Amino acid sequence: MKVRLPSSLYWPTAPARPLLQCFKNNRALSTSSPHLSNSNPSSPPQSNSDSRWLSSTKERIGKCISFGLSAPQSTKAASILKILATEWRDLVAGREGFLVSPNRAGLLRQGVVWGEMDSMGHVNNVMYVRYAESARVNWAWNYAVHIDPGNRREWIELCTPKGDGLILKSIGVEYKFPMTYPDHISVFHKLRSLPSPDSSSFILDVLILSELHQRPAARCVEDIVVYDYKAGKKVNIRPFMMRAFEQTWRKQEEEKARVEKRIQEVESAVGELERETWNREGAVEDLGSGT
């Protein structure tokens, strides 16, 4: 399965919208970890690996707000919400080892158009394969332009039938929920494992994120074969590819560790906020005034 390599890439830079409008202009917001207090962390809760961790964390903060917050507690809640709003791709995808920076993303905030929906009113299933395919070409392009520019020509040729090329042997898709227009998607690829130098294929995991719902809309698994078009046969992964893959694998593992630590910081901060608000003796939910 081949796709024409795009001549240029455009990376939208629209910032994520704040989760709560009341915190939009709060200058006390911070994304630095010192604002996530670890006081009395008797046993920091283990992070939930569920794909709905982000939404459930927002709900936990919402419950704290419903019981009323003091000024310091409002600042603390705002700091956590700022992190969830600006780092959500890292928290959702990075914890699995996906690298989500613009120079690694296959697609970033790509618009879902109305014509991609079918008669059932949701994005047609085949579109997810096209999303993954387009993102895979950009994935290789990123190596050529940003990651390994010393081998730019070789990486670009991998997406053409001129010499060595990458052929999709198989793809599997797991649909998580029916996405609809309007929405935007971000698509990321990662190495499932570090391939062997004497292997002619490697496996890529693909994550297709709904920007509107801030969670996975689909997951794909791609089996990629390195094929020599001139010789008409598959070949081993080239040394320049292996060097780049080894670097990528290290970064994937580092990202998983970094994000897991960040999630533990968020969990500790949310737990502390819960103990200060509703999870304490005598706590009463603030239902507002009737006058």
Structural domain boundaries in the chain: 101-254
Report the distance separating Cα 97 and Cα 191, nearest Å.
9
Tell me the CA distances in angstroms from 101 to 16, 39, 189, 208, one per residue in order.
14, 32, 12, 15
The domain defined by 101-254 folds into Thiol Ester Dehydrase; Chain A (3.10.129)
pTM recorded for the entire structure:
0.81
55 in Cβ contact with 114 (< 8 Å): no
186 in Cβ contact with 109 (< 8 Å): yes
H helix or E strand, kind and range, residue 166:
strand 164-175
Q: What are 154's two structure tokens?
A: 């070789």
pLDDT tens for the chain, residues 1 to 291: 444 434 433 333 334 333 333 333 333 333 444 344 443 333 333 444 567 899 999 999 999 999 999 999 999 999 999 999 999 999 999 999 999 999 999 999 999 999 999 999 999 999 999 999 999 999 999 999 999 999 999 999 999 999 999 999 999 999 999 999 999 999 999 999 999 999 999 999 999 999 999 999 999 999 999 999 999 999 999 999 999 999 999 999 999 999 999 999 999 999 999 999 999 888 787 766 655
